[in-house]
Structures are given as C-alpha cells and as structure tokens.
Structure 1
C-alpha cells in the first residue's frame, strides 16, 4: 500500500516573506481547519503555532509569503517543531540564513 505524502513547499527567497508581525491573524481554512484559526502574534506560544502550521500546511509559496515574516522566521527557526523532511528542505534551500544543525525533532 502506498502512503500519501504531502508535498513540501519552500519559499523561493526569504526576502519574499513579508507576513504580519503583530496583531491577530486568521488563517484560511486550507491552512487551518482546526476551528481555532485565530493567532495572536503578540503571544509567543501562538506565533510559534502559526509558523509551524503555515510551514507544514502551505500548498503554494504565496501561503508562505502572506503569513510568514523573514526576521521572525529566522528568530523562531531553532525552536520550531517540524517534520524532519520539511526542516531539511528549508535548511538546504537557505543554509546561510537558517541554522543548519538546529534542533531537529521527529514527526
């Protein structure tokens, strides 16, 4: 039996990430169908949840551009729990910007 593998979406350039950095963000249903898609970016726990959700659930680079911020992503990167394949894809694309060898956690 073949297992469904979700495609990994990586930004073409970190400079394209200009998402919000404060206030409350409501993710569209295709990114967060949990029923609690509102994220208060001033709350450290919720911003981490938002970044993790967007990175894992993005279906196209535009999702990343709309909801992630380059400076915030690089600051949060070491503490984000991400599937190993996703983390590896981002670190291979941006080895100078994202700390290679940062904490990797299994899915």
Structure 2
C-alpha cells in the first residue's frame, strides 16, 4: 500500500528522537489543495491553527510543519497533496533528515530541487 512508511527513514530524523516519516507513493498524498484548513493541535501548537492554502507562504508553512511533525503516514496523507509537494519542495525549509529521507525515496523531489 502507498501509505506504508519506508524503513530507510528510520536512520533520518525530523528532530532529535523522532524519525522522519515517508510514504512509499506520492499518489497516496491526497490532502487539501485550496481553502482554509485547521491543523490538529498535535501538529501545530498555537491557538489559531487555521491555514489559508491560497497564500503560498502559508501553504509552504503547512507542508513544513506536517513533514516535520508527522509521526504516522495517515497524517501525511490527510494534509499533503503529491503534486503540490513536488511543486513547492525546493522552497521548503526542512530538517536535513526529512529532506534526505524524502528525496531518497522519491527522486522526483531531488529533480525538482535541481530544476529550481
């Protein structure tokens, strides 16, 4: 199934003590692409957790938060969109472990950085 995390991600950390979580198939990422969404408190620790996906900086912020804070693939699948991830990948500020784990599993992301 496309939502199973890869084992190689275990050697990469999103932050100390937390392994990066990566889906096997970018097509499994079917999150929202427009409108205003509210992230769960577990992912975003502030009173106002609303994100306007129509604002590019806010969309990038949501992707950075989810990629760094997710501990299960269902969180990735719920909040990220595969084609959008490829589009914004080169602009995201991510921990080194997260970037490496995702680019190792999905070379198209590495190619997106090279093309930018």
* Alignment TM-score > 0.5, same fold: yes
Check whether the contact 1:16–1:65 (CA below 8 A) recurs between aligned residues.
yes
Describe the SS at the equivalent of 2:19: coil
SS at match of 2:113: coil
The match for 2:74 is 62
TM-score (normalised: structure 1): 0.86
Q: Does 1:51 align with 2:66?
A: no
1:36 and 2:62 correspond? no
CA RMSD of aligned residues (A): 1.8
Q: Distance in 2 between matches of 1:27 and 1:16?
A: 19
TM-score where L is the length of structure 2: 0.80
Aligned residues: 100
Distance in 1, matches of 2:23 and 2:41, equals 20
Distance 1:13 1:78, change over 3 A: same
* Conservation of the 8 A alpha-carbon contact between 2:89 and 2:112: no
| More helix by percentage | 2
